[in-house]
C-alpha cells in the first residue's frame, strides 16, 4: 500500500458532531500535512505538523502525530455541512527526494 | 498570478492522440509537482521539479509521459499516444520550499485538467 493511508475511507456524521480520521505511513518523515478537496476542485492545504511535534491546532482542526506508531489523526470539531469534502494526508520524506506522497483520502459527509 | 493556473480545464481526445497540459505555478515558487487523480481515488505522484535540480521522474507510468519546466516557471506535461487508462484529472502544485525539508512546505494546487480519452 501507499505511503499515507487514511482510515476510514468514508465517514458520515451529523452537523455538530466531531469527525476523526486517521493516517498511517511507512517510512520516516520530516513532516505530515493534511489537505482538503471539495468535489471537482483542487486540494487546499489545512495544516502541517513537523516530525518533532505531537499536536497542532488550527481553528476547529486538531492534528496529532505519533512517530512511534507512524500515524496521524485529524479531528474536526463541531462539524458543519460545509466541511463535506475529501481529506488527504501527505507525508514529506527527505530520503525520497522531498516529494510529498498522498494517501487515498477519507470522504466526509456532514449531514445538516 | 494569484494562484496556480492549469490549462485546459477539460480535454477530450481520441485514443492515440498526443495531449499537452500546462501549468503556471505561483511566481517565485521553486518546486513544482504533477499528480494524477482517478475518479474517487487518491493522488498518484508523477513528477517533481525543484529549482535547477534534475527532476524526479520516478512516478511517470510509462515512456509515453514526459514533462518539462522551462525557465524554472511554466511546466508542460505531455502524454503521447493516449490510452483510455490515461483518463484522469491531472493536478499541478507548486511550493516555495521543498516539502520534505523541516521548513514550511505546503503545496498550492491548481484546479486540475480533466482528461478524457475516448
Cβ atoms < 10 Å from Cβ of A65: 22
Q: Which residues in chain B have their CB less than 8 angstroms from residue A103's CB?
A: 42
> Does the residue B111 lie in any domain?
no
> Does the residue B108 lie in any domain?
no
Among B16, B68, B20, B61, CA closest to B38: B61
Beta-bridge mates of residue A20: A75
The residue assigned the cell 456532514 is A110
Task: Look up the domain containing B57 and give its range.
Answer: 5-97
Asked if the C-beta of B50 comes within 8 angstroms of chain A's C-beta atoms, the answer is yes
- The residue extents of the domains of chain A are 5-111
Determine contact, residues A112/A46, Cβ cutoff 8 Å. Answer: no
A97's torsion region: left (phi>0), alpha (psi -120 to 50) or beta?
A: left
DSSP state of B31: E
> Does the residue B38 lie in any domain?
yes
Nearest-by-Cβ selection for A94 from B35, B101, B104: B101
Per-residue pLDDT of chain B (118 residues; tens, 9 = 90+): 589 999 999 999 999 999 999 999 999 898 899 999 998 888 999 999 988 888 989 999 999 999 999 887 999 999 999 999 999 999 999 988 765 555 547 899 999 999 999 9
Q: What is the pLDDT of residues A8-62, one digit of tens each?
A: 889 999 999 999 999 998 888 888 999 999 987 889 999 999 889 999 999 999 9
DSSP code per residue over B61-113 = -STTEEEEEGGGS-EEEEE-S--GGG-EEEEEEEESS-TTSSS----EE---E
B40's torsion region: left (phi>0), alpha (psi -120 to 50) or beta?
A: left
> Does the residue B118 lie in any domain?
no
Q: Which residues in chain B have their CB less than 8 angstroms from residue A27's CB?
A: none
Q: Which residues in chain A have their CB less than 8 angstroms from residue B56's CB?
A: 97, 99
CATH number for the domain whose boundaries are A5-111: 2.60.40.10
What CATH number should be reported for the domain holding residue B30? 2.60.40.10
Read off the pLDDT of each residue in A86-97 and give the average, rounded to a whole number. 81
Determine contact, residues B109/B91, Cβ cutoff 8 Å. Answer: yes
Amino acid at each position: 500500500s501507499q505511503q499515507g493511508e487514511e482510515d476510514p475511507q468514508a465517514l458520515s456524521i451529523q452537523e455538530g458532531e466531531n469527525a476523526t480520521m486517521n493516517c498511517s505511513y511507512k517510512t520516516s518523515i520530516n513532516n505530515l500535512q493534511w489537505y482538503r478537496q471539495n468535489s471537482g476542485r483542487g486540494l487546499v492545504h489545512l495544516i502541517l505538523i513537523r516530525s518533532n511535534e505531537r499536536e497542532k491546532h488550527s481553528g476547529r482542526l486538531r492534528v496529532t502525530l505519533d512517530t512511534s506508531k507512524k500515524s496521524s489523526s485529524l479531528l474536526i470539531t463541531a462539524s458543519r455541512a460545509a466541511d463535506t469534502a475529501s481529506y488527504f494526508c501527505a507525508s514529506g520524506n527527505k530520503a525520497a527526494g522531498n516529494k510529498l506522497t498522498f494517501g487515498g483520502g477519507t470522504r466526509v459527509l456532514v449531514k445538516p | 498570478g494569484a494562484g496556480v493556473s492549469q490549462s485546459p480545464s477539460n480535454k477530450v481526445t481520441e485514443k492515440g492522440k498526443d495531449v499537452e497540459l500546462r501549468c503556471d505555478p505561483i511566481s517565485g515558487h521553486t518546486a513544482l509537482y504533477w499528480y494524477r487523480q482517478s475518479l474517487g481515488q487518491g493522488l498518484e505522484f508523477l513528477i517533481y521539479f525543484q529549482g535547477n535540480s534534475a527532476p524526479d521522474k520516478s512516478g511517470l507510468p510509462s515512456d509515453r509521459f514526459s514533462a518539462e519546466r522551462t525557465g524554472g516557471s511554466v511546466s508542460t506535461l505531455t502524454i503521447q499516444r493516449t490510452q483510455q487508462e490515461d483518463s484522469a484529472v491531472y493536478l499541478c502544485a507548486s511550493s516555495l520550499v521543498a516539502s520534505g525539508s523541516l521548513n514550511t512546505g505546503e503545496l498550492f494546487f491548481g484546479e486540475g485538467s480533466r482528461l478524457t480519452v475516448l
